[in-house]
Structure formats: structure tokens, C-alpha cells
Structure 1
């Protein structure tokens, strides 16, 4: 049986396991479409024939509209609650689509859409866990002996789901989604401690949750709470036998310190700690990221030679990255271009900086990368100002302002303020007044 046929068979099993006939499923999809305010579906008999085609051996793929409707159908349990975790009908539905040939990007879009729907409905932690893991978590919080690998994996999946929504959902909403998972990690480690085989996995999830929580507190401008969460993550990462993990914590913390305070010395100390930890770790991507941030800090301090040396080390690590890196996607050549641009902006050639920013922004196309793209594009506008092209800079800033309104990232806002300050010599010009009006209309300042 080829994979597309296996996917069709899996789709049929999902339906029949719920006791749904073809007509029942057609009516359910019609009702979901009405609830979502989507265009009216064809007659039930027509929808029924489409479902039969999807489930036949000569498979045809449900189109995007029907994929979304089926996602809502299988994300809702027979009891009316939402369940998206591993082993749920929803997860099996996504696996079926993947076997039928659907792209990973589209499957990620469907998952993200349903994660947002869970939060819109007031759901959260249990909705993002597998059904069995959700029930087991309630028991494990009362008695640690019930803790098993499925519960730990489920908590890691929740943290990953929340992280994937950064830039798509308001930060306050993400905090509400993440808080129960973080608290569950703390309590499970405190109640007698998990069995030795699960302790390190649970502590890794705890570290990731605390780092993400620290980032979210930074974005919502509670720097004291952010600092406490990063200190928690640093403490727990130090108990893991993974230096790259501790380096990752230092790097995330350093970025928040770098932009929350004018005191660059504290950020520099955290970066140096990250470089030391990454040097003895097994992730070249984290090592590259540490050297890239080291280069930016040196450039901000006016240390051109040190900045160039750190960038060279970052390039070296990127070129020698391993397919088995423990943190794939942690850094890339596209992200490095943005750091190279910042370094040239401070201690190099603004022409090169501009071109590096343009290349980096063009390569950052996924929804998860949108905030980084805005930051890079705003820096590109700053390079245009320093090249004596304020009109062109203003045109680019209008695009950045519009995009920043949807993400709300704090670093992007800081970058926008800095770029606007650089336009002061032209403050009497109409194109600068237009930028100010746009900032007021969209961002309120």
C-alpha cells in the first residue's frame, strides 16, 4: 500500500471509529462551515461524494477549505472538548494528510489555526495535550508515581506549540497558554521528583518553558519578572549535562538585557558566558549564534576588530553545522546576515549593511520569522538614512510600521523609535510628518 492510499485508509478509519456515516460527516462539515461563517457548502449528497473520493484508493486530496473543516471536526472530541495532542484524532488526521502528500507547511498552518482556536475558546493546557496525557497529568500532579514518558512529551509539545505562535498571537494570550505548563513542570519536579529516566527530559522542558516565559515577560515590559524567569532557567539548565542548553538560555537572556537597558556590560557578560558554554557543547548552531551576538555587542562598543573576528567564527560554525545538531533551526545563514548588517552599521560600511539587511529580510518569509524580518527591515531603513536616503528610508519604515502593528514585538518597537530619531534632521519635511502620523495612527505614538 503506497502512502497516499494509506492516508486515505487512515482518514476512513477516523470517521468510522467515531461511528459517523458519510452523510453524518457531510452534515457535520456543513454545520462547522456555518459556525465559522464560511461560504455555504454544496448539498449534503455532493459533500458526501467528496468524502468518499478522499477515502478511496484512487485518492484525491481534500482542498484547503475541506482540510480546515475536517481539522475542526477531528480536533473536537465526541464530548465537545478540544484535543490536539499526540495520539488525538486531530494528530492522526494531520498524519493522514501528510501521507496523502500534503506539505509540512500546510500541516503546520492547520495546527497553528487550531491552537489559536483552542485559546479563543478559553482552552489551554489540557486541550494541547494528548487525551491520555491530559488525564495522566491530573493524576501525576497529585501523585508523582503516575508520571510517565507520554505526559513529559506532552508538556514539551505544549511549550513547542506556544513558541510556534510567537508573532501570531498576542503575548498576553501566549502567557496564559504557557503558565500552566511551566507550573506543571515545577510541581512535578518538586513532588518527590520524577523517576530518574524522566528527570532530565522534564527538566529540559522546564528550562524551555522558563526561557519562553522570560521572553514573554520581556515583551510585555515586566523586566523584573523576566529576569527572575531567566535566573530560574539558568539554574535548572546548569543541572543538565548539556552545555549548549545553558548557552541557549544565556543568549536569550542577553538579548532581553541588551534591549531592556542601556547598560551593555551586563549583556556582554551574558554573551561571554554563552560563548564559553557553547564552546564545550555539541550544537554548532548555538555556537554560531553565540559568536554572532558577540560580534554585535563588540560592534556596539566600537570594537571593529573583535566584531569581525566573532563574525568569522560564526560563519565557520554555520558552514560546519551537523545534520544531527541537537537544536535544528536555532540559527542559520539568513539570520547571520542580519547580524553582519548590524555590525557594518556600527563599525563598517553602511552600503554593505544595507545589502546584508535586504538579503536577510527577503529570506525571512515564514510567519514565525515575521518579527525578525521587521527588525531587520527597520535596520535596513536606518542604513538608508546613514547613506543619505531619508525618503527611501521613510518608505521602508511605513512597511515596517504596518507589519509591527500585527506582531507587537518590543524589539521591533525599539528599532522603530531609533530609526525615527535618526530622521530628526528632516523633521520639518512632509515625508517625516507622514511617518509620524502613521506611527500615531497604528501604534499610538
Structure 2
């Protein structure tokens, strides 16, 4: 840690104190009050004057000093509350800025993680405080809305939806435990708002936010191997989507739930039921964008179950739906020819046509815009095709590539990798299989 970095940290600490309008002495008194309120008294109680000198040392640009751990904890509790005595811990808050200042002053990331967890737990352990983890502007709006729900307007639902969208965009890059922490306050906020007497015009937009939040939270809980919580969240999402009377929204919930069910304890039967329900909902109303996804997933699941003619019919419907939907403007979430190639290749593989499946999957993998999890699914399927074509070494090489490409510890790619690995059992003692096993062990091993 350079002296320049420490000076930046000291300046940030001083700026935080000044933003509260606190003098050095007032800051010292506030820290003593914090120590008393959290039951953290010093064995040799410091005087205000002595603590005032410590605050000045921490903020000294010329020779900044990192506060000791006890005083970091007291400062953290101080900045966890706004001057109006609200708990705000999310991005952009004084609390987040305080942790940033400690980083510049040389605090270790392990200690900062522990400090943040301690303070977050202290203020959210009863569940109701999770709202404090939202960004300050949303937290402020939400606090007001819960006091006077009749004043809720579309600004709050738009802000919450933006938060869910931002979290979803980080699905491939952030650890799932971190995503769960980010989603928890939005999920709680949605539940509390929908239980309050909010104005009728705003109910639909807030319910749409709830559907998005519960669905994403269900997928994240699935990735964290918590199938009970995942099922409960998907059930909530399905219920709220049904109240919206917009069938395509419920179809999107069913599709996410079907993927999770196929790769979890619920299994194939539940996944097929959900895919069929998604098709029914997608074909009602104006859900043209979700129809090809619904038919494609129905095709993949029925092909895996051995109903190849039904799968072929569903693929043809997916192609028709894709062409019908393409007349409007396309977005990154639209079903594309690359997706159709991917689902077709998977169905061909289940039908026993490994040669055509391999070529079709190769076409699908030419798309550079495909999310990493989708790439991993297709690469494992292509690896299976290579093994069944009599080239197990090439199949193992593709599985190495999948391990490098897929998000760390993502559940669906991991399950499919294990499926593919079982196909290599006849070559169990070959060097290319033992090398793959070593790579698998490295990929799932916890970090240092």
C-alpha cells in the first residue's frame, strides 16, 4: 500500500466526517456513544480528547494511520446510519464509502469482508433490515413507501426493476452468494409492498418487479444447491405472474423453473410439466418473443424423454415462432438462429444422430454473443457427440474447453459435465481421461 493510497483513504475519512457536519470532538463523542449502544466498551474508557486525537491521526494526509479493528467497527456502525438515523448499507452509501476508505488505508480484503458481514448481520438479522442493502436513493423511496403506501408511484417500481436488471446482467460474473445478497432486499421489498395497500395503478408494475426478482432469486438459489428455497421462490413467482393476467410472463417463470427442475431433485417429470405449461401460456396473448423459447425447451425435454416425433414438431414450431417474432426489432434476449441450431443439435444427439448433432452444434457455437452457461451446455453436448463418433480423446478435449469457459461452480454446466464424463468410463485409465479428472478436481476445489 503506497503513501499516496493511504492519503486518499485519509481524505475519504475526513470527507465522510465533514459530510455529517461533525467536528473532531463530535466524532469522538459519536464513537463513544456507538461503543455504548452496541455493548462494546473499552477496558480503559478513552476520553473525548484522547479519541479526538486518534480521529485526527486517521485523517492525517501527511501521515495517515489505519484505525485499529475496534475503532473500525465503531466507525462502521456510525456510518451504517444516515444522519436521519436510517440504516443504509448499499452501493453509494456512507457505509460503502467508509469501507472503500479502509481499502485505501491498507485494510485487508478478508478483514473488510468480515467487518461488512458483522455490520450487515447486526442490522439485518431480523429480516426487515435487508432493505438497507439497497442503494440509498431506492432505500429512501422504499422507506417512505412503507410508511405511506398510498403515496407509492411508478418511480419506485422502475427503480426496483432497474436494480433487478442490473443484478441479472452480472449472472455470469459475480459469485452466486453475492448475487443472492444483492437480490435479498429486492425480494423482501417486493413482498412487503405487495402486502401493503398500494394504489391500484402501481400494483401491476410492482407485481412485474416481484415476478422478475423471485424468478432470478429462484435460479440463484438453485445454483447454490438450495432446492427447497428455489422451489418456494419459483412458486411465488408463478403465483404473482398469474395475478398479472399476462400469460407470457408466467411462461418465462415456467421456463426458468423447468431448467432448474431438470438439473435438481425435481427431475425430468416436473421439467416436462413446466415446459408444457410454458408453451400453453406463451401461446396465449401477445407473448411472441417467448414462444420460440417455450417450444425449443419442450423439444429438448421431449427428445431426452425419447419422444422424438413430438420433439421434431416442437422444433418446427420454434423455427416458425422465431421467424414470426423477427419482424420486429431484435434484442439480445431474442431467440436466434444460433439458439435454434443449439436446441436442434441437442435433439439430434438424443435421437442417436451423433454426426449431424456434432455439425449442428458447431454451427450454434459460432455465436460469440452466447452466454457462458449456454456455451457450456452446447460444448458438453458436442463432446458427447465426439465420444459417440468414436473419438473420445477429442471429446475429452472439448470438456477441458468447457471447464475453462463456464462460470465457476455453475450448477447446470457441472451436471452436464458429469453426464459427459460418464461416457468416458471405457477409457478410464487412459492419460487423456486422467488429465480431465485432474482438471475437474481443480475446477471444483475451493480457493486458498
TM-score (normalizing by structure 2): 0.69
Residues matched between the structures, number: 338
1:301 counterpart residue number: 305
Call closer, same or farther: CA 1:327–1:245 in 2, change over 3 Å. farther
**Range moving further from structure 2, 147-156 or 178-187:** 147-156
| Residue in structure 2 matched with residue 422 of structure 1 by the alignment | 423
Distance 1:157 1:127 in 2: 15
Q: 1:435 to 1:250 in 2, by over 3 A?
A: same
Residue of structure 1 equivalent to 2:397: 395
Match of 1:165 in 2: 170
Alpha-carbon separation, structure 2, partners of 1:433 and 1:83: 45
Structure 1 contact 210–230 (Cα < 8 Å) conserved: yes
Which secondary structure does the structure 1 equivalent of 2:244 belong to?
coil
Q: Displacement of 1:331 after TM fit?
A: 2.8
| Other-structure match for 1:148 | 153
Cα distance in 2 between the residues matched to 1:326 and 1:155: 25
Where 1:407 maps in the other structure, the secondary structure is coil
Q: Is the 8 A contact 1:304 1:348 kept in 2?
A: no
Instruction: Write out per-residue CA displacement over residues 366-397 of structure 1, whole angstroms, 9 at most, x where no aligned residue.
Output: 6xx11111121111111111111111111111
1:187 aligns with 2:189: no
C-alpha distance in 2 between matches for 1:425 and 1:312: 37
Deviation of the 1:403 alpha carbon: 2.7
Asked whether the 8 Å contact 2:341–2:360 carries over to 1, the reply is yes
1:335 matches 2:336: no
Deviation of 1:324 after TM superposition, in Å, equals 5.4
Q: Distance in 1 between matches of 2:274 and 2:285?
A: 16
CA distance 1:84–1:431, shift in 2 (3 Å)? same
Contact 1:133 1:150 in 2 (8 A): no
Counterpart in the other structure of 1:228: 232
Cα distance, 1:326 vs. partner?
Answer: 11
Counting only pairs closer than 5 Å after superposition, residues 284-363 of structure 1 correspond to structure 2 as: 284-322=288-326, 329-363=333-367
- 2:269 corresponds in structure 1 to 265
- 1:212-231 per-residue CA deviation (whole Å, 9 max, x = no partner) reads 11101111111111111111
Distance, in Å, in 2 between the alignment partners of 1:83 and 1:380 is 42
Paired position in structure 2 for 1:372: 374
1:255 aligned to 2:251? no
Q: Which stretch shifts more, 275-284 or 309-318?
A: 275-284
Secondary structure (helix, strand or coil) at the match of 1:238 reads: helix
- The alpha carbon displacement at 1:330 in A equals 4.5
The farther-off stretch of 407-416 and 317-326 is: 317-326
CA distance in 1, matches of 2:90, 2:185: 17
Larger radius of gyration: 2
Q: Distance in 1 between matches of 2:144 and 2:331?
A: 31
- Residue 208 (structure 2) pairs with residue 207 (structure 1): no
Q: Unaligned stretches of 5+ in structure 2?
A: 13-82, 94-112, 121-129
Q: Contact 1:292–1:311 (CA<8 Å) still a contact in 2?
A: yes
TM-score normalised by structure 1 residue count = 0.69
What whole-Å deviation, never above 9, does each CA across 1:330-371 have from its counterpart, x for those lacking one? 5322222221111001015212211222222231436xx111
Q: Distance in 2 between matches of 1:420 and 1:81?
A: 44
Higher mean Cα deviation, 371-380 or 307-316? Answer: 371-380
d(CA) in 2 for partners of 1:335, 1:393 = 22
CA distance in 2, matches of 1:346, 1:268: 16
